[in-house]
């Protein structure tokens, strides 16, 4: 396994709960070892109108996991005639990951959104552990990004404050983590729905 590690792509992906919802973000670089394969890969996904996921790891595994989760969430909504909760979506994705534990999806995932209980955020590892938190980071730039989040996060941030904090965290990681880079995709989730934005860090 240690011989394969250089070929597992890195990333810097963050998420946090702010006053009115959840903000998810990830940069776009895909690198294998010393080779930058792409500068335009999306690692932030809309699962439902009020739930999203941001990932680090193999892009193909992220895409399949997000599509599976979205399909099951739609089935749940159709059968129960009500939207799926953020916690249920996180547990659903955790179950999908655990089912694949012998040949796992190589992805770390942050799931966030808003429901009747308000905004919430969960962190999942590749074996499906589901851990609630107010802010999180996954990927090869985690240690650097978490240092910024730990230092500057506070309750009841506005959307603009949350965006600035997320951008500072990702920018700090990009400066030190060669596997992360490029522009940054943001997904803001509130009770009115989701809004996507791509920013270039200077």
pLDDT, residue 3, reads 44
1 pLDDT higher than 60: no
Q: Which helix (H) or strand (E) holds 54?
A: strand 51-57
Identify the architecture of domain 5-199 in CATH.
4-Layer Sandwich (3.60)
Q: Are strands 35-38 and 44-48 parallel, antiparallel or unpaired?
A: unpaired
Are 122 and 131 a contacting pair, CB within 8 Å? yes
Domain ranges of the chain: 5-199
Could you tell me the pLDDT band of residue 35, with boundaries at 50, 70 and 90? confident
pLDDT, residue 8, reads 61
Q: What order of strands is seen across the sheet that includes strand 51-57?
A: 44-48, 51-57, 107-115, 118-124, 130-133
For 80-110, what is each residue's pLDDT tens digit?
A: 999 999 999 999 999 999 999 999 999 999 9
12 counts as catalytic: yes
Could you tell me the pLDDT band of residue 180, with boundaries at 50, 70 and 90? confident
9 pLDDT higher than 90: no
Are 144 and 177 a contacting pair, CB within 8 Å? yes
123 pLDDT higher than 80: yes
Which one is catalytic: 12, 48, 107, 190? 12
């Amino acid at each position: 396994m240690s011989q394969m590690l250089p070929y597992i792509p890195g990333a810097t992906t963050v998420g946090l709960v702010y006053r009115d919802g959840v903000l998810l973000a990830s940069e776009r670089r895909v690198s294998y070892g010393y080779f930058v394969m792409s500068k335009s890969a999306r690692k932030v996904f809309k699962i439902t109108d009020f739930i999203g996921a941001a990932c680090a790891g193999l892009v193909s595994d992220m895409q399949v996991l997000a599509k599976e989760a979205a399909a099951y969430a739609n089935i749940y909504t159709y059968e129960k005639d009500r939207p799926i909760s953020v916690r249920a979506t996180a547990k659903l994705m955790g179950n999908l990951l655990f089912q694949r534990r012998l040949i796992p999806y190589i992805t770390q995932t942050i799931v966030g959104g808003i429901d009747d209980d308000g905004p919430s955020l969960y962190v999942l590892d590749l074996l499906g552990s589901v851990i609630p938190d107010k802010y999180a980071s996954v990927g090869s730039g985690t240690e650097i990004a978490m240092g910024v989040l730990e230092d500057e996060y506070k309750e009841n941030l506005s959307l603009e404050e949350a965006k600035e904090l997320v951008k500072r965290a990702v920018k700090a990681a990009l400066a030190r983590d060669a596997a992360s880079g490029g522009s940054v995709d943001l997904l803001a989730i509130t009770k009115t729905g989701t809004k996507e934005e791509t920013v270039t860090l200077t």
